[in-house]
């Protein structure tokens, strides 16, 4: 079958014919891939900058792909939860089997670092015509979400991050005096798919939302921002006011450190994005502000199955609340043959580029 493969940590990406040796075990499910999303992680692997990427043991190549939408083709004897025709999304990270967090399905908090991630490190991904997985790693979504279900994997990361934010903020009372978050502001740095999904979540949680970039918004970005009642801030022209929550999706210290002083008492800075090659000094004034204001700094990566399940609920609600908005985030659909070039370079105006199999 056709597959998109890489040779990490070396740069490069190829569409090739590979042997499909995987058998459907008794707890296994054979899935036909419908769509894959492309993201910064994939491009980091393809360009050789994401150095932790590695092939599975015994292979010199890795099948890329961790943002997936698939349809069940065949199930093993012991599988009860899935049947042929179900629409599914696989989780990404697979636990180390030795630390407590992994044992209880919270491999997003793996203690040992010996986890694996499909299409990223140590396990083949899903940019291929078919894949098999154990039923425990799959999440079923309603067929009515098939057109936007490919967004569930990136969204799962946002669900996990909000879980962290809300747990952290139980350190005091962060709700407004009507019990909601309507007196709170959230600013999101970066207007890519992750930034926009953070904006959607923040709006659903009741925050007043600002989406920031150092340029004017693209049409597709503005559509999402306006639909949810958020505001776009072009940092070359407009200034951000005081905020309670700052979410960085860029990974650039030079983008978020200058905004630290905008964070109010008991506020939160979330670092989600990763990048390379940027440096920016943290001043003593910044440190004083973080200390004197009880500012929490949270790093967040990956997601558990629970976060995928909850994410599907949000996709469902946004799908009816904001008709056409989630679809508009899919700015390009490519055939596998055409996708290799797009994995090397991000096209201008992209929110989410997907591969349809
Ligand atoms: C994925 C996460 C993964 C991370 C690795 C992201 O693109 O969505 O599941 O843990 O890459 O850095
Ligand atoms: Zn991704």
Residue 282 DSSP class: P
Regarding the beta carbon of 157 and ligand 1, being less than 6 Å apart is answered: yes
Output the residue whose Cα is nearest ligand 1's atom 6: 41
- Domains belonging to the chain, first-starting first, are 2-148+330-356 (3.90.180.10), 157-299 (3.40.50.720)
SS3 state at 87:
strand
What is the token pair recorded at 233? Answer: 């801030």
Question: What whole-number distance in Å separates Cα of residue 234 and Cα of residue 268?
Answer: 22
Residue 190 pLDDT: 98
Locate the ligand 1 atom nearest the alpha carbon of residue 120 and give its number: 5
Regarding the beta carbon of 117 and ligand 1, being less than 6 Å apart is answered: yes
The neighbouring-strand residues paired with 122 are 117
Q: What is the distance in A from the centroid of ligand 1 to the CA of 68?
A: 13
Q: What is the distance in A from the centroid of ligand 2 to the CA of 249?
A: 13
The mean predicted confidence, pLDDT, of the chain is 97
What is the token pair recorded at 245? Answer: 């929550």
Question: What whole-number distance in Å separates Cα of residue 191 and Cα of residue 340?
Answer: 24
Regarding the beta carbon of 297 and ligand 1, being less than 6 Å apart is answered: no
Regarding the beta carbon of 52 and ligand 1, being less than 6 Å apart is answered: no
- The CA–CA distances, whole Å, from 270 to 125, 188, 198, 243, 257 equal 28, 9, 11, 13, 12
Regarding the beta carbon of 41 and ligand 1, being less than 6 Å apart is answered: yes
Q: Which residues of the chain have pLDDT under 70?
A: none
Q: Is the pTM of this model over 0.85?
A: yes
- Contact (Cβ atoms closer than 8 angstroms) between residue 65 and residue 127: yes
Q: What is the distance in A from the centroid of ligand 2 to the CA of 12?
A: 18
- Contact (Cβ atoms closer than 8 angstroms) between residue 215 and residue 189: no
Output the residue whose Cα is nearest ligand 1's atom 1: 302
- The CA–CA distances, whole Å, from 93 to 97, 154, 283 equal 12, 13, 36
Residue 215 pLDDT: 97
Residue 260 DSSP class: G
Question: What whole-number distance in Å separates Cα of residue 2 and Cα of residue 203?
Answer: 40
The string of pLDDT tens digits covering residues 176-235 is 999 999 999 999 999 999 999 999 999 999 999 999 999 999 999 999 999 999 999 999
Regarding the beta carbon of 104 and ligand 1, being less than 6 Å apart is answered: no
Q: Which residue has the tokens 């894949």?
A: 131
Q: What is the distance in A from the centroid of ligand 2 to the CA of 155?
A: 10
Question: What whole-number distance in Å separates Cα of residue 203 and Cα of residue 222?
Answer: 15
Residue 21 pLDDT: 79
Question: What whole-number distance in Å separates Cα of residue 108 and Cα of residue 150?
Answer: 20
CB-based burial of residue 229 (10 Å sphere; 0-12 exposed, 13-18 middle, 19+ buried)?
exposed
Residue 22 pLDDT: 83
Residue 20 pLDDT: 81
Say which ligand is closest to the CA of 272.
Answer: 1
Say which ligand is closest to the CA of 38.
Answer: 2
Q: Which residue has the tokens 């989410």?
A: 352
Residue 351 pLDDT: 97
Question: What whole-number distance in Å separates Cα of residue 255 and Cα of residue 277?
Answer: 13
């Amino acid at each position: 079958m056709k597959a998109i493969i890489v040779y990490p940590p070396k740069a490069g990406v190829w569409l090739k014919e590979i042997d499909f040796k995987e058998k459907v075990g008794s707890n296994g499910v054979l899935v036909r891939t419908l769509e894959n999303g492309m993201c910064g992680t994939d491009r980091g692997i393809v360009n050789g900058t994401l150095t932790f990427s590695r092939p599975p043991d015994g292979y010199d190549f890795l099948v890329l792909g961790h943002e997936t939408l698939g349809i069940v083709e065949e199930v093993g004897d012991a599988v009860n939860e899935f049947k042929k025709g179900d629409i599914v999304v696989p989780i990404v990270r697979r636990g180390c089997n030795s630390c407590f967090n992994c044992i209880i399905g919270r491999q997003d908090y793996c203690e040992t670092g010996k986890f694996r991630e499909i299409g990223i490190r140590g396990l083949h991904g899903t940019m291929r015509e078919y894949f098999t997985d154990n039923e425990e790693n799959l999440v079923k979504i309603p067929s009515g979400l098939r057109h936007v279900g490919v967004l569930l994997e990136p969204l799962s990361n946002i669900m996990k991050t909000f879980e962290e934010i809300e747990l952290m903020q139980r350190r005091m009372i962060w709700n407004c005096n009507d019990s909601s978050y309507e007196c709170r502001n959230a600013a999101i740095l970066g207007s890519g798919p992750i930034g926009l999904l953070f904006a959607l979540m923040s709006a659903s949680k009741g925050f007043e939302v600002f989406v920031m970039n150092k340029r004017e918004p693209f049409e597709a970005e503005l559509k999402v921002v306006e639909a949810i009642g958020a505001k776009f801030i072009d940092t070359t022209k407009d200034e951000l006011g005081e905020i309670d929550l700052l979410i960085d999706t860029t990974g650039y210290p030079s983008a978020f450190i200058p905004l630290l002083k905008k964070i109010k008492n008991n506020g939160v800075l979330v670092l989600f994005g990763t990048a390379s090659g940027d440096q920016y000094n943290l001043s003593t004034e910044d440190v004083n502000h973080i200390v004197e204001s009880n500012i929490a700094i949270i790093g967040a990566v990956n997601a558990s199955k629970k976060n995928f399940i909850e994410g599907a609920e949000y996709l469902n609600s946004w799908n009816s609340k904001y008709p056409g908005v989630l679809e508009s985030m899919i700015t390009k659909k490519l055939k596998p043959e055409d996708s290799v070039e797009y994995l090397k370079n991000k096209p201008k105006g992209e929110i989410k580029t997907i591969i349809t199999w």
